[in-house]
Amino acid sequence: MPGNLSFEALAEAAALGEIDTVIVCATDMQGRLMGKRFHAQHFIDSAWQETHCCNYLLATDMEMNTVPGYAATSWAAGYGDYVMKPDLATLRRIPWLEGTALVQADLLDHHSHADVPHSPRALLKGQIARARAMGLVPMMATELEFFLFEESYETLRHKGYHGMTPIGPYNEDYHIFQTTKEEAVMRAIRNGLYGAGVPVENTKGEADAGQGEVNIRYSDALDTADTHVLVKLAVKEIAWAQGRAATFLAKYRHDRAGSSSHVHQSLWSPDGEALFFDADAPAGMSSMMRHYMAGLLAHADEITYFLAPYINSYKRFAAGTFAPTKAIWSRDNRTAGYRVCGEGTKAVRVECRVGGSDLNPYLAAAALLAAGLDGIEMRLELEPEFTGDAYAAERARTIPRTLRAAAEALTGSELLRAAFGDEVVDHYHHAALWEQAEYDRVVTDWEVARGFERA
């Protein structure tokens, strides 16, 4: 749901001294919240209308290095400003930070006040508007997995991220006793998010030692993305406050499970009709749902970058790990990249299992919608359902195995260029090339250990 704090209630809380700080933040290319902390009274007096940030925030890498080669901004262009326009519908209390509220902002051009085309939130809003024009309301949820460690971020950084100790010693998938050991952190996450107006459903153990998952109620696509980035921030901040570290890296060790962010999606009418459901159709899948799924599969390669944006993302796609390797669809089959859930009910939906916990939810949701809506517009026919073990299906459509392959599919995508614009696709393709180039120049621990003596 949107934020739980009205502007009037904020003003009252500030007058009473209950809230003294307002975080104004926007989401960067990596899915992180970036912004400023305002004194509450200044926000109430003027900053609620707009503030500013450097436009390099949508042109940096994970290290926040200024990356050369972007058309949107550069040293030659002077790295000017963007307008940060608070969306007061997202204003909420942040219970795990004393006296603090938070509001998410859209990024606008400093001169025209139009949405910055390549800003993640604007991209998703554009695809939602496209769906709305078709009489469709996109609904989504993300299942977000992560690993929790006994050590703090500071300790692990000083150790060079070696010798990390997961908070649990063995697979804790659905394991109540095992998850009791981490309940001090997980309970604080559930209650903190609930107090921030986030409709938490549950946390649970996942498929490896120290791995957990947090699930939030199904909602409209924009609210889901807004919530997703807040959940990641909350998990990190709450873990840090308790001397623990959490990671959303898709694959933190080659011999451990990866962490995913499965994206559930369906389309509804403005008056609440489940448009993916047809009681008389096989599995309850309406013709609209079948066209939508066909679009996802037809454009699976092209959208993979927005589901797996880093070198590390592709280490997660391994057989026998519950992470998919094939871009095929199946009913209630966790080996498939695209799974039908809730068959035969109004809750029937597509679960995209391709995305990792490192995805940017706005970009992932926008890409999935662009592909699915194209399937509806073009009335694409859905291929036959796959049954059995998708890992063993040698002839099935594979998920791109590397960032290079995904980047090539992205830049050649007529679909995404039509949906997002050439400048947006070129922007994110440049980000992918930079990520690849940075990796290519670095000597890894694996190379040294393997070849130092033997080479």
Whether 18 and 210 have beta carbons less than 8 Å apart is answered as: no
Per-residue pLDDT, averaged over 431-440, amounts to: 97
Q: Tell me what pLDDT residue 6 has.
A: 96
Take residue 141 and report the two structure tokens written for it.
């949820």
Summarised one tens digit per residue, pLDDT across range 349-365 is 999 999 999 999 999 99
Q: What value does the mean pLDDT take over residues 40-68? A: 96
- Quick: pLDDT tens for 283-308: 999 999 999 999 999 999 999 999 99
pLDDT tens, position by position, 91-107 = 999 999 999 999 999 99
Query: Average pLDDT in the 160-174 region?
Result: 91
What pLDDT, in 10s, does the model give residues 368-391?
Answer: 999 999 999 999 999 999 999 999
Let me know if the fold of 7-115 is the same as that of 128-446: no
Q: How confident is the model at residue 438 (pLDDT cuts 50, 70, 90)?
A: very high
Q: Where are the domains of the chain?
A: 7-115, 128-446
In the structure encoding, which two tokens stand for residue 231, read together?
Answer: 């959940």
Tell whether the model's pLDDT for residue 414 goes beyond 90: yes
What value does the mean pLDDT of the chain take? 96
Confidence bin at 173 (pLDDT 50/70/90) = confident
Determine the pLDDT at residue 2: 73
Q: What is the mean pLDDT of residues 238-257?
A: 97
Instruction: Tell me the C-alpha to C-alpha distance, in Å, between residue 119 and each of 29, 87, 124, 364.
Output: 7, 15, 9, 13
pLDDT band at 272 (very low <50, low <70, confident <90, very high): very high
Determine phi and psi for 446, rounding to 5 degrees. Answer: -60, -45
Mean pLDDT across 35-42: 98
Quick one: what percent of the chain has pLDDT higher than 90?
96
Phi/psi of residue 25, nearest 5 degrees: -145, 150
Give the pLDDT score at 1: 58
Helices 361-377 and 221-241 meet at what angle, rounded to 10? 160
At 181, phi and psi to the nearest 5? -65, -20
Of the two residues 170 and 31, the one the predictor is more confident about is 31
Q: Which amino acid, residue 167?
A: I
pLDDT confidence band for 5 (50 / 70 / 90): very high
Three state DSSP letters for the chain:
CCCCCCHHHHHHHHHCCCCCEEEEEEECCCCCEEEEEEEHHHHHHHHCCCEEEEHHHHCECCCCCECCCCCCCCCCCCCCEEEEEECHHHCEECCCCCCEEEEEEEEEECCCCCECCCCHHHHHHHHHHHHHHCCCEEEEEEEEEEEEECCCHHHHHHCCCCCCCECCCCCCCCCHHHHHCCHHHHHHHHHHHHHCCCCEEEEEECCCCCEEEEEECCEEHHHHHHHHHHHHHHHHHHHHHCCCEEECCCCCCCCCCCCEEEEEEEEECCCCCECCECCCCHHHECHHHHHHHHHHHHCHHHHHHHHCCCCHHHHCCCCCCCCCCECCEEECCCCCCEEEECCCCCCCEEEECCCECCCCHHHHHHHHHHHHHHHHHCCCCCCCCCCCCHHHCCCCCECCCCHHHHHHHHHCCHHHHHHHCHHHHHHHHHHHHHHHHHHHCCCCHHHHHHHCCCC
pTM for the full predicted model = 0.97
Given CA atoms 156, 158, 161, 163 in this order, what sign does their dihedral have? Answer: negative
| Residue-level pLDDT at 171 | 87
Phi, psi of 202 (to 5 degrees): -165, 165
pLDDT of 274 strictly over 80: yes
Pick the CATH number of 7-115 from 3.10.20.70, 3.90.650.10, 1.10.10.10, 3.20.20.70: 3.10.20.70
pLDDT at 164: 95
Two tokens at 252?
């933190």
pLDDT > 90? residue 277? yes
CATH superfamily of 128-446: Glutamine synthetase/guanido kinase, catalytic domain (3.30.590.10)
